Chains A and B, each alone.
Chain A
Amino acid sequence: MADTQWPVYEVFHQQARGEPHIHVGSVHATDAEMALVMAKEQYCRRQACVNLWVVPAAAILASEYQDGDMFEHTTDKSYRESWGYKTPKTIQKSDEETPT
């Protein structure tokens, strides 16, 4: 069956200035401005939001799930993880004091 829906726009919302924009869903719209107007009520009517992005879904190039094995780490790469390192005591202390 032919798709009679309007184009899809992916919606990203930001909870506070400086925070990353996080993907929260999508809307159908004829153009970007309509998408932004619709996204505001679909995704910001309950949660805090300071900024919204809408991006045409068609503009996104996605990897294939069948290529998912490329994300696997076949050899030990724990050196990439922060837990692979001993943290000096002074930094540990400062981490504990920093509110999360």
Chain B
Amino acid sequence: MIATIDTLHDMEASLKSAVIDLLYRLADDAIIIGHRGSEWTGFAPILEEDIAFSSMAQDDMGHAQTFYQMLFELGEPDPDTNVFARKLDQWTCAGMVSISSQRDWAMSLVRKYFYDVAASIRLDALAEGALVPLAQLARKLRSEKKYHLMHGTMWIPRLGTGTRESHQLMQSAVDTLYPHALGMFEPTSADLLLEQAGVCPREDELRKRWQAEVENVLCGATLKVDADMSPVFGGRAGKHPKDLMALLDDMQLVYNLDPHAKW
């Protein structure tokens, strides 16, 4: 039986730094997928989807904010500084959320779904975890993820089996994204400590759960996964696709012009 950790201030230094590492990964993934989602505002293929996709982007940014807030409580910089002032190699988001979709709708949908399954699996695990404030937060955030998953599992089979063209676009998105999706579970030096403290299972374990769920839905959508694909790692260690630099230039533009601007 693993003892619960009732407050953020009950952790010894090594565990605290592992939790900080975990929170940065959660926050960075969420804000960047949210930013990628917001790129579709006004451009999604149908009006209803435009609103739904934009709304979910706001949800993801909201989740990111709660993780950055928790980091702030752990002594890290405030959320605005973290989002607007960090340099490329200080970010820990997975490559999958960083790469530009180039206005490829199939790719954006598949990417969002891959992310949502991973985020849900993490939140489910954290909700059962030993770190009480994080477990409480995870339970709260899970409710919005429920809708995001519903959205993905609605679209994936419809487009996978829709027309020859939609099937090809979806299959190509899966082929492109899958190795990057596996990269969401890049092992880190925090894994073992987080597992031992009962805060969060190892990335490897989360990846198995993710693959079981995703491959089931893809199979139902007649979409294939090449079993030989190997993961693309690097994001957790600050090595990012060049697309992230363009995103940060865009997202941090105003702050870089005037760090003290009020807006």
Which A residues are within 8 Å of any B CB, using their own CB?
6, 27-30, 33-34, 37-38, 40-42, 45
Q: List 6 A-B contacts (CB under 8 A).
A: A33-B154, A37-B151, A41-B51, A41-B56, A41-B147, A42-B52
Which residues of B131-158 have CB atoms within 8 Å of chain A's CB atoms? 147, 150-151, 154, 158
> Main SS of chain B's interface residues?
helix
Q: Is B48's beta carbon under 8 Å from chain A?
A: yes
Q: In the assembly, what is the distance between CA of A28 and CA of B56, in Å?
A: 19
Q: In the assembly, what is the distance between CA of A15 and CA of B191, in Å?
A: 43
Interface size on B, residues (CB 8 A): 13
Q: CB distance B52 to A41 under 8 Å?
A: yes
Given contacts A30-B158, A37-B154, A40-B52, 4 further A-B contacts (CB under 8 A): A38-B48, A38-B49, A40-B147, A41-B48
Which B residues are within 8 Å of any A CB, using their own CB?
46-49, 51-52, 55-56, 147, 150-151, 154, 158
Q: CB distance A29 to B55 under 8 Å?
A: no
Q: CB distance B48 to A28 under 8 Å?
A: yes
Q: CB distance B48 to A29 under 8 Å?
A: yes
CB contacts (< 8 Å) of A40 on chain B: these are: 52, 147
Q: CB distance B158 to A37 under 8 Å?
A: no
CB contacts (< 8 Å) of B154 on chain A: these are: 33-34, 37
Q: In the assembly, what is the distance between CA of A38 and CA of B48, in Å?
A: 6
